Structure 1
Amino acid sequence: MREAYQSDLQHVIDDLVDMAEMAGTALKDATTALLEGDLALAERVIAADPHLDERQSELDAKVVELLARQSPVATDLRLLVAALRMSSSLERMGDLGAHIALIARRAHPALAVPDSHREQIARMAELAGAALVEAAQVIAERDLALGAQVEKEDEELDELMLQISREMSGESGLTNSQVVDMTLLIRFYERLGDHAVSLVRRVGFLVTGDSLDTLSASVDVQDI
């Protein structure tokens, strides 16, 4: 019985890592669709998003069942409580990927990202993707040292968002549609970094039992 319980707990971790991989694929494909104007790829990202929603529902149901059936304590309890919040963050990260794909679809056949900001958006996507991959590794291996790298990437995402915002305020060649799309895009990529930070800090809570800084928006992201 104990071995089956431990297997169930490991499956929870495995499911979180799988969800992170799904969100990472959505982010990568959505960014390609955005920068290359690939409508078919954008459509695939949008169509795949409900599958991640389903995975969250299935994982949450599994966690609730384990809480009710096993009455876990200590580290096991922290794992299950953290898993509920982490699955929510991962589902929202998938939503953000879908939102990026929606912008790519809406702008088609034009590109939503003007040439003047193409490299910056590509860099934001690179940072968000790296943070997500590293967050998945932190979840799988409980490697808290790697969490510092995720925080660093999130800080660079914040800086890029502010930099692009400042530059756009002084540009006269952008259409209203481009300004709206770019404002949304930089916010989406920045929030992906916030969610990655939330994931690694929840692993920190799982390992150490230390309370989260609930005053920090990057620890407990409530919106997408």
Structure 2
Amino acid sequence: MREAFHGQLEQLGHELTGMCELAAESIHLATGALLEADLALAEQVLTDDVRLDEAGRRCEEHASTLLALQSPVATELRTILATIYCAVKLERMGDLAAHIAETTRRVHPERVLPPELEGDFRTMGELGEHMARRLSGFVSGESAEGGFAELRHSDDAVDALNASILGAVTGKDWPHDVRTAVNLALLARFYERFADQAVSVSRRLEFAVTGTLPE
């Protein structure tokens, strides 16, 4: 009986890993769409967001069934509860990638980004993708030694880029129109929130392993 239960826990981990990979791919494609003004990529992100929502629903249902029908002990209970929490956060990460894609679609065929800020948004996209893929590794059993701290450092880097972009679009020397400034401020916020959600997932995964929520 316990072997079957542990097999279900392992399957739950596979489901969460898949969600992490979907989130990573979504932010990768959303950034590509943004940088290249690629409508097809933007549409793909929106399609993948539906897939991620469905994966989240299945993951939460599976975890809830295990809670209802089994008698998990402390470590197992933390794992199940962490999975439910993380699934919600990963769904939100997909939503944020979709918001980026929606901006690209709304402005198309024009480009959203002025050339001087393309590098900052490319870096935010790369950091977000890396964070999501690291989460996938943690869930699938890779050593997390130093990894959770690494994600927090990446989040700090995204925060710094967000602040830099906001400073640029609100500065008196801003050379573009108000609509562009508003779009860029919102886009930077979407990336910043994506990274924040990734850190929230990492904190809950750390809790599942250690039993203590990190500060």
Q: TM-score normalized by structure 2?
A: 0.95
* Distance across 2 between alignment mates of 1:40 and 1:96: 18
* Distance across 1 between alignment mates of 2:67 and 2:45: 33
Q: CA RMSD in A?
A: 1.2
1:191 partnered with 2:193: yes
Instruction: Give unpaired runs (5+ residues) of structure 1.
Output: 214-224
Secondary structure of the residue aligned to 1:211 is: coil
Does structure 2 conserve the Cα–Cα contact (< 8 Å) formed by 1:144 and 1:200? no
* Distance across 2 between alignment mates of 1:138 and 1:48: 22
CA deviation after TM superposition for structure 1 residue 3, in Å: 1.5
Q: Which moved more, 1:81-90 or 1:166-175?
A: 166-175
Partner of 1:179: 181
CA deviation after TM superposition for structure 1 residue 129, in Å: 1.0
Partner of 1:67: 67
1:27 partnered with 2:27: yes
* Distance across 1 between alignment mates of 2:41 and 2:168: 29
Partner of 1:114: 114
CA deviation after TM superposition for structure 1 residue 71, in Å: 2.1
Give 1:167's aligned amino acid.
A
Q: Which moved more, 1:162-171 or 1:68-77?
A: 162-171
Does structure 2 conserve the Cα–Cα contact (< 8 Å) formed by 1:139 and 1:200? no
Does structure 2 conserve the Cα–Cα contact (< 8 Å) formed by 1:20 and 1:90? yes
**Matched residues, percent identical?**
38
* Distance across 2 between alignment mates of 1:206 and 1:190: 25
Does structure 1 conserve the Cα–Cα contact (< 8 Å) formed by 2:20 and 2:132? yes
* Distance across 1 between alignment mates of 2:123 and 2:139: 24
Does structure 1 conserve the Cα–Cα contact (< 8 Å) formed by 2:168 and 2:174? no
Does structure 2 conserve the Cα–Cα contact (< 8 Å) formed by 1:138 and 1:147? no
1:81 partnered with 2:120: no
Deviations 1:167-193 (A, max 9, x none): 111233221221111011100111111
Q: TM-score normalized by structure 1?
A: 0.91
Deviations 1:41-60 (A, max 9, x none): 11121122111111111111
Point out which structure has higher relative CO (alpha carbons under 8 A, 6+ apart): 2
Partner of 1:205: 207
| Within-5 A mapping of 1:93-172 | 93-141=93-141, 143-170=144-171, 171-172=173-174
CA deviation after TM superposition for structure 1 residue 144, in Å: 4.0
* Distance across 2 between alignment mates of 1:154 and 1:135: 13
Secondary structure of the residue aligned to 2:110 is: coil
Deviations 1:65-117 (A, max 9, x none): 00011121210000001101100011011111111100110111111111121
Give 1:108's aligned amino acid.
H
Give 2:168's aligned amino acid.
E
* Distance across 2 between alignment mates of 1:65 and 1:84: 11
CA deviation after TM superposition for structure 1 residue 212, in Å: 5.1
* Distance across 2 between alignment mates of 1:152 and 1:61: 33
* Distance across 2 between alignment mates of 1:140 and 1:42: 29
Runs of 4 or more consecutive aligned structure 1 residues displaced over 2 Å after TM superposition: none
Does structure 2 conserve the Cα–Cα contact (< 8 Å) formed by 1:124 and 1:160? yes
Give 2:153's aligned amino acid.
K
Does structure 2 conserve the Cα–Cα contact (< 8 Å) formed by 1:37 and 1:108? yes
Partner of 1:219: none
